[in-house]
Structure 1
Amino acid sequence: MPLLELRNVESHYGHVQALSNLSLHVEQGEIVTLLGANGAGKSTTLRNISGLVAPTRGEILFEGKPINRISPEKIVRLGLAHVPEGRRVFPGLTVRENIMIGASSRGHLGRRQLDTEVEEMFAIFPDLKRLSGALGWSLSGGQQQMLAVARGLMSKPKVLLLDEPSLGLAPIIVQQLFATIRTIRSHGTTVLLVEQNANMALSVADRGYVLSTGRVIVEGTPDKLLNNEEVRAAYLGGGAHAVAG
């Protein structure tokens, strides 16, 4: 049984259909990436999973149980954390305070436990440790992205949904970020990744799906997708980058 599964999901924004008969699955311990052109439905897929958008048809299953009719807050408590595009850190709070907020979905935690878990985040994101007292607004784009991921991990998710984590970041920071994604998986967290940098995403993924107009058109291993000439030309920019969306 897949850890996460979408079955024939349809989703609309008003009268515009964003997802059409979309089916995919994510197994325990995998990194799975969603690729495709701008407007293909990648971010909408994550929003449907996390409950921010309700599907109009189909079913979303987490650990075999439907979740498409429950609130985003309850979905987080079940073990799904969504790190949306754009980082969205709290600019007036310190790095430590931003990270601590990520644990709020788990109810009241003792200060000692909370401090221990924050230190665990600093072990994964060492650059944040020296900035623990800095305000969110003062961080670079890459540091803010690391902070957003750390905050998501504080909910202790079974599945982490990452939406365009490398967008706008310098290449050296992107390399660090994807090394961190591997580390997150090695610690037992499954990852569903929407990413504009197709080559980088496929370098860490176990499997990928290519979306077009809200539906899956190709799926398979990274090698299969990278060696598919139609996919390379239309969705991977000839092998360089997918278009964000």
Structure 2
Amino acid sequence: MPLLDIDRIHTFHGRVEALSGVSLSVEPGEIVALLGANGAGKTTTLRSVSGLLTPQSGAIRFDGKPITGLSPEAIVRMGVSHVPEGRRVFPGLTVVENIILGASNRRRPSRRRMAEDVEDMFGLFPEIRPFSDTLCWKLSGGQLQMVALARGLMAQPRLLLLDEPSLGLAPLIIQQVFRIVQEIRKRGTTVLLVEQNAHMALSIADRGYVLETGRVVLQGDAQRLAHNDDVKAAYLGGRTA
């Protein structure tokens, strides 16, 4: 049984249909890439899963249980964490304070357990350890992305929804972020990844889906998609002769 099963959802922004019958699945332990141009419906798909938007029709199931229409808080408690595009950390809070906010939906973890979990995040993201008591507005884009990822993982999710984690980052930092995504999967967290950098996304993903104007137009093994002429032409910078 898929960990996440999206079945023919139609989601609207006001009167505009952003998703037109999107179906996709994510198996336990996978990294699945969701590709497409700006406005294709990638972020809307993640927001539909995390409860920030409610599909008008269709169904979303997590671990076999329907979650369509549930509140974001209820969906987080079930084991789904959403790291949105643009980091969206609280600039007036410290790194540690932002990370701890990720555990707000957990059932009152002890102070000792919280400290252990924060230390675990600094083990996964050693670059931000020296800034633990620094206000986040002082951090670089790459450091902020690591804080956002750590905050998302503090919810101890089974499924992590990642929206454009490489956006606005330098190439070396992008490689580092994608190595961290692979490490997250090794730790047992399944990942649904929205990413404009199709080459990097497909290089670490097991499978992928391509959206165009709110519809899935291609799907399959990540390496096959990486060698698909249409995907190459649209997202990877060239078509095979």
Give runs of aligned pairs for residues 10-25 of structure 1, distance below 5 A. Answer: 10-25=10-25
Distance 1:112 1:22 in 2: 43
Distance 2:182 2:89 in 1: 23
Q: Report the alpha carbon displacement of residue 93 of structure 1 after superposing the two structures with TM.
A: 1.1
The answer to whether 1:28 aligns with 2:57 is no
SS of the counterpart of 1:104?
coil
Q: Report the alpha carbon displacement of residue 2 of structure 1 after superposing the two structures with TM.
A: 0.3
Give runs of aligned pairs for residues 190-201 of structure 1, distance below 5 A. Answer: 190-201=190-201
Structure 2: state its 5+ residue gaps.
none
Q: Report the alpha carbon displacement of residue 56 of structure 1 after superposing the two structures with TM.
A: 0.7
What is aligned with 1:243?
A: none
SS of the counterpart of 1:130?
helix
What stretches of structure 1 move > 4 A for 4+ residues in a row? none
| 1:16/1:236 CA distance change after superposition, 3 Å | farther
- 8 Å CA contact retained: 2:203, 2:223: no
* One-letter code aligned to 1:91: P
* One-letter code aligned to 1:171: P
Distance 1:89 1:38 in 2: 23
What is aligned with 2:69?
A: 69
What is aligned with 1:141?
A: 141
* One-letter code aligned to 1:131: F
* Aligned sequence identity (%): 62
Deviations 1:165-195 (A, max 9, x none): 0000000000100000000000000000000
Q: Report the alpha carbon displacement of residue 69 of structure 1 after superposing the two structures with TM.
A: 1.6
What is aligned with 1:4?
A: 4
TM-score by length of 1: 0.96
Q: Report the alpha carbon displacement of residue 234 of structure 1 after superposing the two structures with TM.
A: 2.5
- 8 Å CA contact retained: 2:20, 2:215: yes
Q: Report the alpha carbon displacement of residue 238 of structure 1 after superposing the two structures with TM.
A: 2.3
TM-score by length of 2: 0.97
SS of the counterpart of 2:92?
coil
Structure 1: state its 5+ residue gaps.
240-245
Give runs of aligned pairs for residues 99-178 of structure 1, distance below 5 A. Answer: 99-178=99-178
- 8 Å CA contact retained: 2:98, 2:151: yes
What is aligned with 1:44?
A: 44
How many corresponding residue pairs?
239
* One-letter code aligned to 1:215: R
- 8 Å CA contact retained: 2:60, 2:68: yes
